[in-house]
Structure formats: structure tokens, C-alpha cells
Chains A and B, each alone.
Chain A
């Protein structure tokens, strides 16, 4: 593919291409550089010197004070809520996708259409009733309050992705197992679940990323710092650090770091998962 494209283009075309590409790169990286840069300045530097001035010395004190604060509580809550939700999403969506793809029953197409159509529902319409429900159940302001809405709202897209994957598993495998007397549960556990590995990874990554950064449910259904997730750490710190920009940006860096580390190791997979999740339209 590359051969024809690059060797034939005139040098100035390539020049323009690279200038534009690097221009966009600058637009992408400059805001992020501003964050990391400023978070390492002393508060004095950030007041006295222009924003692009180098820090006079690397000041890690903001990171230290954030880490000594409640940061790890937020991190632990996020890990618990997102981890539990993703496991449940994968399991429940896989069961449903298997039934929709491989068990014949009346209205299976209509049901599939209905579940997929639910992707369009704006979450905001569910907010007030779920808030009231959570309050009535006594779950308000606990990490558990988030799991139900997280799992349910992730199901439509997850079922959609998994049906796409499961359709590609050959029917012959199922028919052979049926002849051996295997029931639907055995076939699901022994054949479909293991063979849906890539689809399951896609669903887990796609939802994991979304839920890790989820804001509105977490903001409405929890209130105390001890029960909140990472995106809310920023929200809660905002008052405390309103006059201390470097400290605030240290919080931004720290809350964003987990996903960036994960991305550094698995970017190929993550990009693929984002693609699969978006091809629903």
C-alpha cells in the first residue's frame, strides 16, 4: 500500500502532509504538556513567571500531598466499581448474546432490535428515577449504587458487540456438540465462552475505559469522598486547590495516569476496542 502512495507524491506534497500532521500533534500534546509541566512547578513559580517558563526546580511536593490525602481511596473505589461492573457486563451480555444468536425462539429478532435501540436513550432521562430508587434502597452514597446503572447502561452496546463475534463461530461446532447430547449451558460454557475471547476482551476494554471516566452517575449517586471514584476526586479537590494551580494539575495527572499506563501496554487492543464499540451506528 505504501509503495505507490509515498514514492509517487511530489516532495512538496509530502512536506504539506507532514507539516499538517505535526501541527495537529502539537495541538494534541501542548495542553497535556502544560498540565505535566505546571504540576511540577512551585506555586510561587506558577504565579510569578509566564506559563511557558521552565520550572526553576522540579517540585514534587504537590504529588506527595495528593498521594497522602484520599487519593488511594478514590483509586480503590474506582477499581472495585469498574472491576465488578466489567465482570458482570461480560457475563450477562455473553449469556444474552448467545441466546440471541444461537437459540431460536419467537421474537428473537425483535428483542435484539429493542436491546440495540436502547443505545440511543440519553442516560439523563434515567437519572432522577435511579437517584430516587438508590435512595429508597438505602444504597445512596455507597460504591454499590453505581454497579447496577453501570452494568445496565453498558449492556446494549456489549450485547451488540458480542453477537457480532458469536455469529462468526461456526454452526457446525454447535451441531456436533448437540449430537453428543450437550445442552445449551454446556455449549455456552465449553464452546462459545472460550471462543469469544477477542470479543470479550473488546467489551471489557471498551466498557472499562468508559466507566473508569464516568462522571454523571458517580456525581449523583455518591457524595462523600470515601465512596467516590477517581473522576470525582478532581471534583472534590477543586475547592481545596482552587488557588493552587500546580496542585490541581497534579491531581489531573494522577487521576489520568492509570489509563495512560494501561494504554502504553495495550494500545493496539484499546484502539481496536474503541473502533468495535463505535461501529454500532
Chain B
């Protein structure tokens, strides 16, 4: 390395490579990442929007330009709206069920002291399983004839409560939502635990000396401290719910009769079972628009909250 410790050498990168333009180094460092993102994210995004304007089965030359026909069909497609509705219901349930339970568990662990380490390790387990594995597991657990749930209900004489959990239109969506919650609660619990760990103990001590009860400390001190994390978690839960796929695809495939259909499962079936690549791309593009809109809205909302706090 030729040492050039002259005063001019302090200017960025002129010391060694006198002739290299200044943008060259950043460009080279970023090139692999940008190239990959361009090929596997940006190009597919644009290509999907283009495919949303054609009718095509994916093979040969039968690709027909249909303009906005797919989009107007989408607007009239009850199945798509039902899927969107299911997505929104899943999002709502995620926020209203997952987050409170996750928060409660985090508070429990935070309070439980010594035993909580083992509990935390065991609570984490669902996050280690692939969605296919969980799908297979819960399909069997909710099996109407051999599954442990109905077997147990029948054994204690509660036969009336035994249901065809995944095969009945009234229960399919609720059942899969319960499993989604089971899978994801540990994740949010970990998130809240991290936030609680950063809670300054002096604050609690001070409040106690002032005679504050556990409940007051929770509502007046801890919850405000967790506010940012709760918002982050809510945002993650909503966006995650809008693009949810794996578990539901494995457990019900969106059925029965579309009762548990989501935008992603609908898109997947349209493309890879019915081979309507054009219309499937329209569904995918609509899904992207919904997620982008809600994310942008959510970010504005959280920003506004932040400036107010």
C-alpha cells in the first residue's frame, strides 16, 4: 500500500486511486444487490402488471392483449372480494387476538422471574416449524373423525360441540385463524419481551414508592413505554395478514367453497391450477396495491402519532 499521508489524503478516496471517479466505489459495492433486486423483484413487479393486461395460459403463443378486461372482471369478481374480506378479517383478528395474548405472555414472563427462561425457550418452539409441517399437524388435529379435538369432545360427552372444523364453511376460517395465531403469538411475545427488557427499573421503583398499584404501573407507565413496539407489531401483523399464504394453503387450500380463501391462495390457484396467468397476475397486482396502500396509510398514521407523542 503506498502511503500518502499528505493533508489531501483525508478527502474521500483520492489517496490511492487518483483517477477513479467518486461514484465508482459506491456503484461497485451496490451493483450485486441492485442487480439481483432488479431481476428478481423490480422486473417481476412490472412484468406482473403487464401480464395483468393479457389472457394467457402460460404456454405457447396464445397470449392475447385484453386491455383492462381482467381488471374490470376483478372488480365484479365476488370470489376476490370475499378473499380480500377474509384477509381483512385475519388482519383484524391478528391485531385483536394475537397482540393482546402476546403482550400478556410477555408481561407474565417478565414477572415470573427465574422459571421464565425455560418457558421462553419452550414458547418459541412453534416458530421453528415450517408452515407445511404445521399445516399437516393441524389438519390431523382438527380431523372430524380421528382428530384429538373431536375425540376428546366425544369422550366427555360434548358431542354437540364436535365439528367438521376445516370442512364446514362456518368454521373453516375461524379454525385456520386460530392456528395462525398459535403459530405467530410467540413471535410477537418475543418482540414485546425485548421492549420490556429495555424498561428502566428505576421508573417502576419510583412509582412503587409513590404507592402505585401493579395495575396503575401497567396502564400509566408500562403501556406508554411499549407504545412504539405495539404500533410496530400491529403494522407487521396487518401487512403479514394481507399477504398470508402458507398455512391456509396447506390446511384448506382456501376451501371449502372459498370459505377460507385469501388473496394469495386465490391468486395461486388461478395461476397454477387453472393456468390463467393473466388473470392471476391481475389478482397479484391488486394484492400488491392493497398492501402498498395500507402500508403507506399505516406509516402516515404512525408518523403522525410519533410527532404527537
Contact = CB atoms under 8 A, between A and B. Distances in A.
A159 interface: yes
Interface stretch (B66-74, B75-83, B89-97, B265-273): B265-273
B211 to A, nearest CB: 12
Nearest to A258: B128
Interface in A17-41: 17-18, 20-21, 24-25, 27-29, 31-32, 34-35
A278 interface: yes
B284 A25 contact: no
B39 A179 contact: no
A128 B284 contact: yes
Nearest to A180: B3
A183 interface: yes
Nearest to A92: B32
A230 B26 contact: no
Interface string A239-265: 000000100110010011001100100
Contacts of A249: 136-137, 140
Contact of A105 (B26, B246, B287): B26
B214 interface: yes
A274 B190 contact: yes
B162 interface: no
A65 interface: no
A245 B130 contact: no
Contacts of B219: none
B190 A126 contact: no
A215 B132 contact: yes
A274 B109 contact: no
Interface in B201-216: 201, 204-205, 208, 214
A181 B2 contact: yes
Contacts of A155: 33, 36-37
Interface residues of A, number: 102
Nearest to B22: A105
A120 interface: yes
Interface string B104-122: 1100111111111001111
Given A103-B12, A184-B25, 5 more contacts: A28-B122, A124-B267, A130-B40, A156-B37, A271-B190
Interface of A: 1-2, 4-6, 8-9, 13, 17-18, 20-21, 24-25, 27-29, 31-32, 34-35, 46, 50-52, 91-93, 95-96, 98-100, 103-106, 108, 111, 115, 118, 120-130, 132-133, 148-149, 151-153, 155-156, 159, 175, 178-186, 188, 209, 212-213, 215-216, 220, 230-232, 234-235, 238, 245, 248-249, 252, 255-256, 259-260, 263, 267, 270-271, 274-275, 278-279, 281
26 contacts: A21-B105, A28-B122, A28-B182, A29-B125, A31-B137, A32-B137, A51-B148, A95-B32, A96-B29, A99-B26, A121-B45, A122-B242, A122-B284, A128-B48, A129-B47, A152-B41, A155-B33, A155-B37, A156-B37, A178-B12, A183-B15, A212-B130, A216-B245, A271-B124, A274-B127, A281-B232
